[in-house]
Chains A and B, each alone.
Chain A
Amino acid sequence: MGPANVLTGVELSPYAVEGRTPEAAVFPGSVDEVRAVIELAAAASVPVVAWGGGTAAAVGTPVSRGGLVLGLARLNRLVEHEPGDLTATVEAGMTMAALEAALRARGQWLSLDPPEPERATVGGVVAANASGSRRHLYGAARDLVIGLTAVTGEGAVVRGGGKVVKNVAGYDLPKLFVGSFGTLGVIVDVTVKLRPLPDCERLVAVRFERLKDAGVAARAVMGSDLIPTALDLADAEAARALGLAPGGPALLVGFDGVVEQVDWQCAELGRVVGLGGGGRVEILQPPMWGRLPLAARLAFDPPAAVMRLSVLPAQVSEVMEQGAEAARARGFASAWSAHAGVGVVTATIHGAGRIEPADVAVVLSEWRGVARGAGGHATIEWAPLAVKAEIPVWDDPGPAARIMQRIKAHLDPGNVLNPGRFVAGI
C-alpha cells in the first residue's frame, strides 16, 4: 500500500491510547489490502486494532499486546445511495458528518446521531454502538444497519444482511457486529436504512428545580400521545455545560414531522409536563442537537472517568440522583445526562486536586451498583489505566458470557482482533 500509508515511530502518537503506542499503523486503500494486512498480522501473531476516527479508541480493557492499528480512513466513499430505496452503502471510514452532508443534499438522512460526527466514522459507530438523542424514536445502530461487510481475523471477506430494508435470509450478522468493538471482524462497509428529511424539526427545553420533577415529567411524556424523537434529561451540571440559561435540571425534547405535528406537540408538551399557562417551553437552536450526547462530558475538562449506564427508563432520574449522591459522599463532583426514554445514562466524575484512582474506582463501583438496582448495567466508557486496573471496564454479562466466548473462539480462532479488549476476556 506504499510507505505513505504505513506509520511507525513518532508518527504513531495520534494512535497511542492511554500512553500505549501501537507497533505500527497502516491505512489500506482497498478491501484486498485490508485482507492482506490482517493475514500478515495473523501470521506474525500481532493483534489487529481497527481504527475509524478514534472517538471510541479508549473504550474497553487495554489490548493485552502492543498491536497493529488498521486505519480505515482511506476507505471513505459513499458507495451507493438510491433515494428511492431509502438505503445507502458506505465505506467504513467515511465520517458521519460527511455521510450526513451527502445524504442531506438529496433530501435524506441517517437517523443515527452519535457524538463527534466530524471524527466518528460509520464503521466505528457501528462497532462501538455509538448513538445519540434521536435513538429515542428511531433506534440505534442495530435498528438501522441492514447489511455489512467485514474482514475476519483469518482474512476472509464476509457479508451479512443485504441491501434491502427487509430481509430474513440467513443469520442477522449485522446485529452481531454492532457493538462488537472490532473483536469479530474489521468492518469495511455498511448498508443503512435512511429516512426522508422531515419538513420541520425542533428541540425544546423545559426546566425544573429538582431532578425528581424532571424525571416525573419525562415519564409523563412517555405515557402521553406525544411522539418525540428525543427525550433527554440533564442534571443541573450537565444543563450548565450545555450552555442553557442558568437554572436547574432540564428535560430536552425533540420533535419532527410536518409543521402541524411539531407545533401541536410543542404546545401539548407544556400541558403534559404540568406547566401552568405561563410555563416555559424554551426553543433551542439546532446546533444544540450535537451537544446533547456530550452533555455530561462537557461539564468537566477533563473528567476523572466517564460511565455509561443502561437502566429501566422509569428509574432514570432516581439513578441520576443516587449516583450524584454517591459521588458527593466521597468528595467528588459529578454530571449526569440521559436518553431518558430508552434508559441510557452517561455520568462523569470530577475531583479537585490530586485524585486517587482507587477512590474513583470506588465511586464507579457504587454507580454500577446503582445501575444494577435499577435493573441494568454499567460500563466504564473512559477512565485512566490506573482506574481500569482497580475495576472491570465491562459489566458482567452473566452466564451468557459462555456463549460470547464461544462465538469469539469460533469466529476469530486465532484471537487476532482486539484480543482482551471486550467483555469476559474476549
Chain B
Amino acid sequence: MAAVPESRKPDLRRQLEAIVGRGGVLSDPAELLVYESDGLTLFRALADFVVFPTSAEQVAEVVRLANREDLPFVARGAGTGLSGGCLPAEGGLVISLMRMNRVLEVDYENQIAVVEPGLVNLHLSWAVGPQGYYYAPDPSSQQACTIGGNIANNSGGPHTLKYGVTVNHVLGLEVVLPDGEIVWLGGRTRETPGYDLPGIFVGSEGTFGIATKIVVRILRKPQAVKTVLAVFDEVAHASAAVSEIIARGLVPAAVEMIDQLTIAAVEDAFGCGYPRDAAAALLVELDGLAAGMEAQAERIVAACRDSGAREVRTARDEAERQLLWKGRKSAFGAYGRVSPAYMVMDGVIPRTKLPYVLDRVNAIVAAHGLRVGNVFHAGDGNLHPNILYDPRRPGEEARVVAAGAEIMKLCAEVGGSISGEHGIGLEKADFMPFIFSAADLRFMQRLKDAFNPEGRCNPGKVFPTRKSCGEAGAVAYRPHPIEEKGLAQRF
C-alpha cells in the first residue's frame, strides 16, 4: 500500500534528488521490490521511494521533506532484521543508511570508536582487530548486519551472556529526530547530564529517530578462548547442566544448545563431529585470561558430567573449535536439507524453566502437525524454535503462525519475554499485551510521542495496532538473498 499518488511522484523524486543526488533515489517498482521485506519474508510492504543519503545533513533534509510532504519514513540498514521492523508499513520513504558506512574515528586510549550507522558489524572488529581490540555484540548476521540496525533492535548474539547486548556498548549517538533536528544523545563519557537518552534510543526500533553517528565501546581481545562440547541423551540433563555451570560460580562467554533434529541436519550437511543420535548438545565457551582457564574448563566438564552428559570434550585447537562452532552457526542453513522452509521464533524464558518449556514447545508444534528444531542461547534462556514447514502445502504457513503465537504465550506465561533479540517490529506488535498491561503500553506510547509526536517515523511498529499493514500469511516463504549466499543465518 503506497502512500503517494502517482501524480505527486515526479515532483517528490526531483526534491529527493536535489538532496541526495540522482543516483541516490529509487522509485522503479522493480527496484523497490528489493526493499519490500527484511529477513522475515512473511511480511511485505512497498515503499514509494528508497533514498540513500551520505551524511547526517542529508538524512535531516530528507526527514524535513517527509514532514513537509506528510510522508511516513523508516530507516533501513542491511535488512537482516527478523521482525519486519524496517518495513515501510504505510508506504512513503525508506531511508537506507548503507552509504554511511565509515569508521570515523577510533580512540584506543579511551577504548571507543565513532562509526556511521551503515557500517557492517563485523567490519568494526576488523578495523580495530590489528590493535588487539574488537566490538563485542556479535549477532549471528554480523557479517552483513549494520551497527545502525543493531542500535534499532538492541541486538544480542551468542556472547551476550558475558558481555551484554548492544546497549551495554553504546555511549552516545548523533540522531536525526523525527522533526529533522540533529542532536547528540549522550556522548563519549560514561555519564552525561539528564536522562539516559542513548539507553532508551537503543532498542526503540527506529521509532525515535535515525542514528547518524554512534559512539561504541571497543574491548581488548581476550588472551585465551576455550570451547567445550557436552553431549546428552536427555534434553532435561542438558538444561540442568546450564544451571549447574552457573551454580559452580562460572559465567561462560557463551552457552549454546542444539537439539537432536538440528544435530542430525547439521551432521548430514557439514559433518562437524556431533554425535547424531544425541538428544542435545551444549557448546560452552570460556574466554579471558590464560591463567585459570584450565581450572575453569575442568569445572565445566565436571558440571556437565555430573548433570548426566554422556560425552564431554574440549576443542584441542582452533581448527576443532571452529568446526564445533560451525555446527552451531550453520544450523539454519542445514535445516534446508530437511525442510523446504522454516520460521525462526525468538522468545526468552527464565533458564530454570528450560526443560518444561522445551517439552511444551515440541508438543505445541506437534499438535499443529509440524516439526521443530531448537538451536539457541541456553545460557540466557533465549530460545529460537525453528518451525519447519512446506509453504507449498495449503494452510501450512497459517499453522506455523498459530504455533508461533502459542509459543510466545508460553514464554510469557513462565515469566519470560516475547523477544530476546529480534525485536517486536510488525511481527509481534499484537503480542505485546502478552507481557505488558494497558498502562505499560500507554506509558511507552507517551514516551514515543515525546520523540515522534507526528508518528511519521516508522509507523505501525512495536505497538498493537488496529491491523498490521504487512500481508502476513499470504505469501510463501523464500530465503533472503544474503542467506542464499551464505552470508547470514537466522538466529
In the complex, the answer to whether B437 meets A344 with C-beta atoms within 8 Å is no
Asked if B188 CB lies within 8 Å of chain A CBs, one says yes
Question: Interface 1/0s, chain A 6-22, versus B by CB < 8 A?
Answer: 00000000000000000
Instruction: Report the separation of the CA atoms of residues A352 and B474 in the bound assembly, to the nearest whole angstrom.
Output: 79
Instruction: Report the separation of the CA atoms of residues A313 and B189 in the bound assembly, to the nearest whole angstrom.
Output: 8
Asked if B336 CB lies within 8 Å of chain A CBs, one says no
Instruction: Report the separation of the CA atoms of residues A377 and B184 in the bound assembly, to the nearest whole angstrom.
Output: 14
A398 cross-chain contacts in B, Cβ below 8 A:
183-184
Asked if B424 CB lies within 8 Å of chain A CBs, one says yes
Instruction: Report the separation of the CA atoms of residues A311 and B421 in the bound assembly, to the nearest whole angstrom.
Output: 31
In the complex, the answer to whether B193 meets A157 with C-beta atoms within 8 Å is no
Asked if A265 CB lies within 8 Å of chain B CBs, one says yes
A310 cross-chain contacts in B, Cβ below 8 A:
189-192
Asked if B7 CB lies within 8 Å of chain A CBs, one says no
With contacts A84-B351, A258-B292 known, is A403 near B197, CB below 8 A? Answer: yes
Instruction: Report the separation of the CA atoms of residues A222 and B109 in the bound assembly, to the nearest whole angstrom.
Output: 8
In the complex, the answer to whether B192 meets A172 with C-beta atoms within 8 Å is no
Instruction: Report the separation of the CA atoms of residues A261 and B184 in the bound assembly, to the nearest whole angstrom.
Output: 40
Q: Number of B residues whose C-beta is below 8 Å from A?
A: 86
Give B98 Cβ to nearest chain A Cβ, in Å. Answer: 23
Per the 8 Å Cβ criterion, residues 279-307 of A in contact with B are none
- Mark the stretch among A48-56, A93-101, A175-183, A204-212 that contacts chain B: A175-183
Instruction: Report the separation of the CA atoms of residues A162 and B412 in the bound assembly, to the nearest whole angstrom.
Output: 10
A156 cross-chain contacts in B, Cβ below 8 A:
439, 442-443
Give A347 Cβ to nearest chain B Cβ, in Å. Answer: 14
In the complex, the answer to whether B381 meets A162 with C-beta atoms within 8 Å is no
- Mark the stretch among A37-45, A190-198, A233-241, A382-390 that contacts chain B: A190-198
B108 cross-chain contacts in A, Cβ below 8 A:
223
A3 cross-chain contacts in B, Cβ below 8 A:
none
Per the 8 Å Cβ criterion, residues 423-481 of B in contact with A are 423-424, 428, 432, 435-437, 439-444, 446-451, 462
A164 cross-chain contacts in B, Cβ below 8 A:
348-350, 380-381, 415-417, 420
With contacts A139-B164, A158-B439 known, is A171 near B200, CB below 8 A? Answer: yes
B167 cross-chain contacts in A, Cβ below 8 A:
142, 172, 175
Q: Which of A170, A219, A398 counts the most chain B CB atoms within 10 A? A: A170
- Mark the stretch among A324-332, A355-363, A406-414 that contacts chain B: A406-414
Asked if A317 CB lies within 8 Å of chain B CBs, one says no
B275 cross-chain contacts in A, Cβ below 8 A:
none
In the complex, the answer to whether A85 meets B156 with C-beta atoms within 8 Å is no
In the complex, the answer to whether B352 meets A82 with C-beta atoms within 8 Å is yes
Asked if A354 CB lies within 8 Å of chain B CBs, one says no
In the complex, the answer to whether B190 meets A107 with C-beta atoms within 8 Å is no
Instruction: Report the separation of the CA atoms of residues A86 and B162 in the bound assembly, to the nearest whole angstrom.
Output: 12
Instruction: Report the separation of the CA atoms of residues A179 and B186 in the bound assembly, to the nearest whole angstrom.
Output: 13
The DSSP consensus for interface residues of chain B is loop
Instruction: Report the separation of the CA atoms of residues A197 and B168 in the bound assembly, to the nearest whole angstrom.
Output: 22
Asked if B247 CB lies within 8 Å of chain A CBs, one says yes
Q: Which of B160, B202, B220, B450 counts the most chain A CB atoms within 10 A? A: B450
Instruction: Report the separation of the CA atoms of residues A107 and B247 in the bound assembly, to the nearest whole angstrom.
Output: 8
Asked if B30 CB lies within 8 Å of chain A CBs, one says no
A171 cross-chain contacts in B, Cβ below 8 A:
200, 203-204, 444, 447-448, 462
Give B378 Cβ to nearest chain A Cβ, in Å. Answer: 11
B248 cross-chain contacts in A, Cβ below 8 A:
196
Among A172, A222, A264, A397, which residue has its beta carbon within 8 angstroms of that of B194? Answer: A397
Among A85, A129, A264, A342, which residue has its beta carbon within 8 angstroms of that of B292? Answer: A264
In the complex, the answer to whether B164 meets A157 with C-beta atoms within 8 Å is no
Instruction: Report the separation of the CA atoms of residues A199 and B251 in the bound assembly, to the nearest whole angstrom.
Output: 12
Question: Interface 1/0s, chain B 214-249, versus A by CB < 8 A?
Answer: 000000100100000000000000000001001111
B419 cross-chain contacts in A, Cβ below 8 A:
167-169
Among B204, B428, B448, which residue has its beta carbon within 8 angstroms of that of A169? Answer: B428
With contacts A225-B220, A261-B291 known, is A166 near B183, CB below 8 A? Answer: no
With contacts A172-B154, A399-B183, A404-B194 known, is A313 near B111, CB below 8 A? Answer: yes
Give A274 Cβ to nearest chain B Cβ, in Å. Answer: 17
Per the 8 Å Cβ criterion, residues 307-352 of A in contact with B are 308, 310-314, 342-344
Question: Interface 1/0s, chain A 220-264, versus B by CB < 8 A?
Answer: 001111010000000000000000000000000000011111011
B377 cross-chain contacts in A, Cβ below 8 A:
166
Find the B residue at minimum CB distance from A157. B439
In the complex, the answer to whether A399 meets B181 with C-beta atoms within 8 Å is yes
In the complex, the answer to whether A377 meets B192 with C-beta atoms within 8 Å is yes
Instruction: Report the separation of the CA atoms of residues A84 and B199 in the bound assembly, to the nearest whole angstrom.
Output: 27
Find the B residue at minimum CB distance from A398. B184
Instruction: Report the separation of the CA atoms of residues A86 and B242 in the bound assembly, to the nearest whole angstrom.
Output: 12
Instruction: Report the separation of the CA atoms of residues A159 and B442 in the bound assembly, to the nearest whole angstrom.
Output: 11
Instruction: Report the separation of the CA atoms of residues A266 and B189 in the bound assembly, to the nearest whole angstrom.
Output: 28
Asked if A400 CB lies within 8 Å of chain B CBs, one says yes
With contacts A166-B377, A166-B381, A172-B200 known, is A197 near B292, CB below 8 A? Answer: no
Asked if A140 CB lies within 8 Å of chain B CBs, one says yes
Asked if A396 CB lies within 8 Å of chain B CBs, one says yes
Asked if B257 CB lies within 8 Å of chain A CBs, one says no
In the complex, the answer to whether B249 meets A196 with C-beta atoms within 8 Å is yes
B449 cross-chain contacts in A, Cβ below 8 A:
410
In the complex, the answer to whether A195 meets B251 with C-beta atoms within 8 Å is yes
Find the A residue at minimum CB distance from B197. A400
Give A378 Cβ to nearest chain B Cβ, in Å. Answer: 9
A85 cross-chain contacts in B, Cβ below 8 A:
350-352, 381
Per the 8 Å Cβ criterion, residues 66-107 of B in contact with A are 107
With contacts A164-B350, A172-B199 known, is A196 near B447, CB below 8 A? Answer: no
10 A-B contact pairs sorted by A residue (CB < 8 Å): A158-B439, A164-B420, A172-B203, A225-B289, A260-B292, A312-B107, A312-B110, A377-B189, A404-B197, A410-B450
Closest 7 CB pairs of A and B: A175-B199, A264-B291, A260-B292, A310-B191, A261-B292, A84-B352, A314-B109
By a beta-carbon cutoff of 8 Å, the part of chain B in contact with chain A is 107-111, 153-154, 156, 160, 164-165, 167-168, 177, 181, 183-185, 187-197, 199-200, 202-204, 220, 223, 243, 246-251, 288-289, 291-292, 295-296, 348-352, 377, 380-382, 415-424, 428, 432, 435-437, 439-444, 446-451, 462
- With A166-B348, A172-B203 known, 19 other A-B pairs at CB within 8 A are A84-B246, A84-B352, A86-B246, A156-B442, A157-B439, A162-B348, A164-B348, A168-B156, A170-B432, A171-B448, A172-B200, A175-B200, A176-B447, A222-B111, A259-B292, A261-B291, A375-B188, A403-B177, A411-B443
